[in-house]
Amino acid sequence: MDTNKNSYTVIYATVLVVFVAVVLALASYLLKDRQQRNVKIEEKQMILKSVKLGMDADNAPDKATYIEEQYSKYIVDTTIFGDKDSLDLYICTIDSGEKMYIVPVHGTGLWGPIWGYVALKGDFSTIYGTTYDHKSETPGLGAEINTPVFNQQFEGKQIFKDGKFVSVMVVKGGANPESTNEVDAISGGTITSKAVEAMLQSSISEYLAFFKAKLEEAAKATPAPADSTVSATADSTGTAVQTQLN
């Protein structure tokens, strides 16, 4: 074939494109299971981090195996029913025997999806821990939502206030130090910070029916003292939650 003809160039380019496409398709097919497993491992690691477990996974000789073992030991996957749809929920029993309820949260940041997990204590108001991540937020700004500094602010915050579901406010310019439901926004990353706030408000609200059912279940299991009113939990936070859900 005359390599100087245009037909040769067209045929050569076509063959090359088809060959590359076949190679990429084959590689994608062969690596599909591994890719899916890596996604699941990353998801499980985030769930563990929300309850302060698996923090040293990156230093383990076999990271994937370590995460799988930790997850199997502490986490139970379950599905619950909300007002409209079925919802995923993860229940963790830490070494002290206390149960944590891990809610997956999803939203939209400045440049793309954001997501994470919020671990609540048994009163369904106190945050035990959080972990967030993003697809394409700005490095050094909105991308800081996945840093320990940002996440640690949420520990101990309350998603109920005076009997009302308020979630957590991410405040530009600095949270009120006395507030039980405010954290600092990221400097220069206000839009992503507020997106986290909206994500928590929207995602957690879907679980209120479940919270109510669990608190009612706890109330039935706990005999009322003769001189007091029965609350869903022994502390004032639980009472506030029960008030809001009734």
Q: What is the pLDDT of residues 40-61, one digit of tens each?
A: 999 999 999 999 999 888 889 9
- Rounded to an integer, what distance in angstroms lies between the CA atom of residue 38 and that of residue 141? 27
**How much is the mean pLDDT over the chain?**
86
pLDDT for residue 232 is more than 50: no
Q: Encode pLDDT of 183-208 as tens digits.
A: 999 999 999 999 999 999 999 999 99
pLDDT band at 224 (very low <50, low <70, confident <90, very high): low
CA atoms within a 13 Å half-sphere pointing along the CA-CB vector of 77: 7
Copy the structure tokens of residue 190: 């206000």
**Rounded Cα–Cα distance for residues 54 and 63 (Å):** 10
Least confident window among 32-36, 45-49, 146-150, 239-243: 239-243
Q: What is the pLDDT of residues 76-127, one digit of tens each?
A: 999 887 767 799 999 999 999 999 999 999 999 999 999 999 999 999 999 9
Q: Rounded to 5 degrees, what are φ and ψ at 200?
A: -65, -45
Identify the weakest region by mean pLDDT among 4-18, 154-168, 180-194.
Answer: 4-18
The answer to whether residue 235 scores a pLDDT higher than 50 is no
Structure-block tokens of residue 4: 């100087």
Q: From the centroid of its chain, how far is CA 199?
A: 10
Encoding tokens for residue 246? 């009734």
Burial of 107 (0-12, 13-18, 19+ CB in 10 A): buried
Q: How far apart are CA 35 and CA 16, in angstroms?
A: 27
Where along the chain do its domains lie? 57-245
